[in-house]
Structure formats: structure tokens, C-alpha cells
């Protein structure tokens, strides 16, 4: 199961959020490496203007933005920035 997780990309297709690295710091100030995974989910969206469904990997913060602005406005902004979708 873990090999599947490593193959799957943990990058948001809209915002570009991805895994960050840092340290666990103990009370004795010992430092060990750790990962901060982005909260990424796979979601299907219906675009009425294009009359089709698309699958995107988005972070939960982008999902809130999509719920607020709408998928069409978010995709329009992303394409204006040069994101390929």
C-alpha cells in the first residue's frame, strides 16, 4: 500500500501546494527529519460551460475556494496564470 502512496503525486493541480520537509524537535532539542504532507484529495467537477466532467487533485483550501467562487472562475484564474488543466 505504501508504494502506491509514493507513486501518487501529492501536488495540488490548481495552487501548486506540495509536500514540505522539516524537523521533529524533542524536548531535548534533538532534531529528526519529517514530512508535512499537503491535504490533497481527488475530486470530479462538472463544468457546465464545456459540458464535461474533469478530475482534479486539489487541496482542501482550494476546494473551499471552489465552493465560494465556483469551478469556472477558479479554472479561469488558473489558466490565466498558465496552469495546464
Local confidence band at 2 (pLDDT 50, 70, 90 cut-offs): low
Instruction: Tell me which fold the domain 2-80 belongs to.
Output: Ribosomal Protein L24e; Chain: T; (2.30.170)
Tell me the whole-structure pTM to 2 decimals. 0.78
- Using alpha carbons, list the distances in angstroms from residue 7 to 11, 12, 18, 36: 12, 15, 14, 17
Local confidence band at 9 (pLDDT 50, 70, 90 cut-offs): confident
Q: How many CA atoms lie within 13 A of 6 on its CB side?
A: 3
Q: What are the structural domain ranges in the chain? A: 2-80
Local confidence band at 81 (pLDDT 50, 70, 90 cut-offs): very high
| pLDDT of res. 85 | 83
| pLDDT of res. 5 | 52
pLDDT tens for each residue of 21-75? 999 999 999 999 999 999 999 999 999 999 999 999 999 999 999 999 999 999 9
Question: Rg for the chain (alpha carbons), in Å?
Answer: 17
Amino acid at each position: 500500500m505504501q508504494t502506491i502512496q509514493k507513486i501518487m503525486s501529492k501536488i495540488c493541480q490548481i495552487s501548486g501546494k506540495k509536500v514540505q520537509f522539516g524537523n521533529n524537535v524533542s524536548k531535548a532539542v534533538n532534531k529528526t527529519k519529517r514530512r508535512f504532507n499537503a491535504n490533497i484529495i481527488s475530486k470530479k467537477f462538472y463544468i457546465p460551460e464545456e459540458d464535461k466532467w474533469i478530475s482534479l487533485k486539489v487541496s482542501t483550501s482550494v476546494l473551499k475556494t471552489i465552493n465560494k467562487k465556483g469551478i469556472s472562475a477558479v479554472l479561469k484564474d488558473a489558466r490565466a496564470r498558465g496552469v495546464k488543466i
